Amino acid sequence: MALITLRRNLCHLSDFRLHGALNTVKNQPVNHVHKVVKEHLCPWFCSLQAEPFRVRFHHACCKKFHSENGNDLHPFGESVYSQVHDWDSFEQNFKNMDEQMFYTRLNNFTSSEEVLSFISTLQTLPDTMAAGALQRICEVGIKDDDQRLSKEILENPIFQALCVQFEQEPSNLSNTSLVTALQALTLLSVDPQSSLLLNLVTECQHRLKRGGLEVHSLCVLAESLLKLQGPGCETLDLIIHQLQGEKLEEFTPEDIVALYRILQMCTEKVDQHQTFLNKINIFSLSIVSNLNPKLISQMLMALVVLDQTQALPLVIKLGKYVVRHIPHFTNQELGKVLEAFIYFGHHDRFFITALEQHVASLYLTLDPEVVSRVMEYCSRKHILSKPILNAVAETFVCHSEKFSPSQISELIEPFGKLNYLPPNASALFKKLEDLLFTHFNSFPPKTLLKLLHSCSLIECHPVNFMARIFSPYFLQQLQGEESYLDRLSLAQLTQLLLTSILECPFYKGPKLLPKYQVQSFLTPCCSLETPVDFQLYKSVMMGLIDLLGARLYFASKVLTPYYYTIAFSQWVNAVWKNSKQNEERKTMFVRVSHEEFFLSSLTRC
């Protein structure tokens, strides 16, 4: 195993077990070291700053130079090394340090400075741990979404020494440290043509062709190459071919999920790998119990992207374990789980109960994206969960400023669709009205129309905004660059017009022009009416034929003057024979809804 000596800030490299690179640094003057590091690191970090990047070893750092063979490197301005503070009291020997303890401490650090400070106290560092440290530096050191390390980290001599070591002697690294170092660099905006990256990739390709990489290293390498070169990478096909030749029983749960992530990024080749995917789907049933919340959410998301609708047994089993892990999901992970369940149409009462408890207990701290996703799930699956809807309503009242226009629409829409008013309805819609008055122009036209239409469904009529949405300017915005308005938008506008006529006779503002009004709310593609269940419709029709004697005595799907559709309706004259009377004439009006049908207006003549 290669050992990387970090003693005294890594400026003495004679104890590196990868002798070529280390002796180069050791035997050259300090200014030459500056030049070498600059040449190797600058190409892939130069975009970080406007001026040319420079690496400097300051005098304070030079004081940490040390040679275990007795040939001390004297710092500038110093004649003897004995003047330097004895750093040995801060050093630890990794021969006596437990590897697990190292990674535990490493994962507890939250900044690159902490990681660098920690490894600066170590005498020697095995290459696998050095790669792990590099990965942690990159993970915690990225600022915001810039995917770049700060200038201070790039100029840190320990970080520079790690990069030089991995660049100059990659052939001496273990498989694990090699692919881990490559994976760490993919977290950054690294120039694909940098010598450091090219050397690591070249060494990985050599080992891959020799068949020298084990399953885990193959998975890490595949994900790294996908980030660097995209799904068109030629090496990727060879990696997947080698993975297909391995026994799935030898894969860890983490490697199985990594397989899903790899194939997820190659969606254009999903048909080519479907047989392999089927094997993975079947095998994954046996490892679901060993997956943590993060892996469960990743597997579900991969199944969505890969459109594995035939893997419903796997989705159902994952759903059972989701119930157990709901309190432990992060906001992002829970969002992915809900997205997958929406896609596959999965729900069960145990999941709903667990989700209710989770949302009700943490509703004030949930991320707005998760809240909107929860409401979308309830809306899509027609789940009238009062604990969830009440908690979400309270969340919006308390933190309405955190929600984007689209999230607000997704949050309010289920209340109208499920016809439910929360206990704090007055506060909820007052907050919504104030927000619309303030940010009306911030809402996309279709989002705003859907939002106001949802309010009207629960009799919270948006009278104060009708004049705006019926105006030619808004209708033009709603149409956008299309040649005509879509039918769903026209139907929503028409229903709002009917609301102003039937429910708000006091409204005297502009009306919707006739050319924008639809004649029926029941349409094949997008309907505002709930379609009648076909089996129920057929059963009712056969019952009415038996009752009335013929199909001609009633009509189906009758359009009312207000554009709503009645499932069955007819005035009929029927002859009813009775043993006590010769004939009785009855006028019958039949109306059938989605759930039931009944006879009304039955009178005797």
Report the DSSP beta bridge partners of residue 575. Answer: 585
Residue 33's pLDDT is 36
Which regions of 265-414 does DSSP assign to beta strands (E)?
A: none
Average predicted confidence (pLDDT) for the chain: 76
Residue 568 counted as domain residue: yes
Residue 559 counted as domain residue: yes
> Which own/partner contact pairs does 496-505 have at CB distance under 8 Å and 24+ positions apart?
496/452, 496/453, 496/456, 496/462, 496/466, 496/469, 497/470, 498/562, 498/563, 499/456, 499/461, 500/461, 500/463, 500/466, 502/562, 503/459, 503/461, 504/461, 504/463
What angle in degrees, to the nearest 10, is found between the helix axes of 195-209 and 157-168?
A: 40
Contact 417, 375 (CB under 8 A): no
Residue 167's pLDDT is 82
Residue 96's pLDDT is 42
Q: HSE-up of 241 (CA within 13 Å, CB side)?
A: 8
pLDDT over 70 at 125, yes or no: yes
Banded model confidence at residue 446, pLDDT cuts 50, 70, 90: very high
Q: Higher-confidence residue: 400 or 146?
A: 400
pLDDT over 80 at 176, yes or no: yes
H helix runs in 63-122, sequence order: 99-108, 112-119
Range from 5-9, 255-259, 445-449 carrying the lowest mean pLDDT: 5-9
Residue 310 counted as domain residue: no
Q: What average pLDDT does the segment 90-94 reach?
A: 41
Range from 59-73, 91-105, 129-143 carrying the lowest mean pLDDT: 59-73
Banded model confidence at residue 195, pLDDT cuts 50, 70, 90: confident
Q: Higher-confidence residue: 536 or 588?
A: 536
Banded model confidence at residue 284, pLDDT cuts 50, 70, 90: very high
- H or E element in which residue 600 lies: strand 597-604
pLDDT tens per residue, range 567-598: 666 544 443 433 333 343 333 333 333 333 33
Residue 30 counted as domain residue: no
Range from 322-326, 500-504, 518-522 carrying the lowest mean pLDDT: 518-522
Residue 150's pLDDT is 77
Range from 211-225, 266-280, 536-550 carrying the lowest mean pLDDT: 536-550
Residue 375's pLDDT is 94
In the chain, the number of structural domains is 1
Please give the single-letter amino acid code of residue 112.
S
Residue 49's pLDDT is 35
> Which own/partner contact pairs does 100-108 have at CB distance under 8 Å and 24+ positions apart?
102/129, 102/132, 103/129, 103/132, 106/132, 106/133, 106/136, 107/136
Residue 572 counted as domain residue: yes
Residue 523's pLDDT is 65
pLDDT over 90 at 566, yes or no: no
Q: Higher-confidence residue: 596 or 128?
A: 128
Q: What average pLDDT does the segment 347-351 reach?
A: 90
Q: What average pLDDT does the segment 162-180 reach?
A: 84
Q: What average pLDDT does the segment 495-515 reach?
A: 88
Q: Higher-confidence residue: 480 or 78?
A: 480
Tokens of 408: 């607000």
Residue 526 counted as domain residue: no
pTM of the model as a whole: 0.72
Write the secondary structure of 230-248 as one string of H (helix), E (strand) and C (coil).
Answer: CCCCHHHHHHHHHHHCCCH
Q: What average pLDDT does the segment 86-115 reach?
A: 66
Q: Which residues constitute the domain of residue 593? A: 534-598
Q: What average pLDDT does the segment 345-374 reach?
A: 91
pLDDT over 80 at 83, yes or no: no
pLDDT over 80 at 429, yes or no: yes
Within 10 angstroms of residue 580's Cβ, the number of other Cβ atoms is 5
Q: What average pLDDT does the segment 59-68 reach?
A: 34
Q: Higher-confidence residue: 566 or 290?
A: 290
Residue 558 counted as domain residue: yes
- Alpha-carbon 316 to chain mean position: 20
Report the DSSP beta bridge partners of residue 599. Answer: 590
Residue 84's pLDDT is 33
- Alpha-carbon 278 to chain mean position: 24
Residue 195 counted as domain residue: no
Banded model confidence at residue 162, pLDDT cuts 50, 70, 90: confident
pLDDT over 70 at 36, yes or no: no
pLDDT tens per residue, range 199-208: 889 889 899 9
Distance CA 401, CA 408 (A): 10
Residue 299's pLDDT is 96
Residue 147's pLDDT is 66
Candidate ranges 13-17, 83-87, 479-483, 569-573; pick with highest mean pLDDT: 479-483
Q: Higher-confidence residue: 32 or 192?
A: 192
Q: What average pLDDT does the segment 86-93 reach?
A: 38
Residue 252's pLDDT is 93
- H or E element in which residue 544 lies: helix 534-548
Tokens of 188: 């950054």
Which regions of 468-596 does DSSP assign to beta strands (E)?
A: 555-559, 565-569, 571-576, 584-592
Banded model confidence at residue 285, pLDDT cuts 50, 70, 90: very high
Length of the chain, in residues: 605
Q: Which positions ≥6 away from 417 have C-beta within 8 Å?
A: 379, 382, 454, 457
Distance CA 471, CA 228 (A): 51
Tokens of 369: 């994206």
Tokens of 539: 């059963």
Banded model confidence at residue 74, pLDDT cuts 50, 70, 90: very low
Residue 564's pLDDT is 65
- Alpha-carbon 16 to chain mean position: 42
- Residue 156's φ and ψ, nearest 5 degrees, are -65, 125
Q: Are strands 565-569 and 571-576 parallel, antiparallel or unpaired?
A: unpaired
pLDDT over 90 at 119, yes or no: no
> Quick one: which of 415, 436, 414 has its CA closest to 424?
415
> Quick one: which of 417, 366, 419, 436 has its CA closest to 395?
366
> Quick one: which of 248, 196, 271, 237 has its CA closest to 40?
196
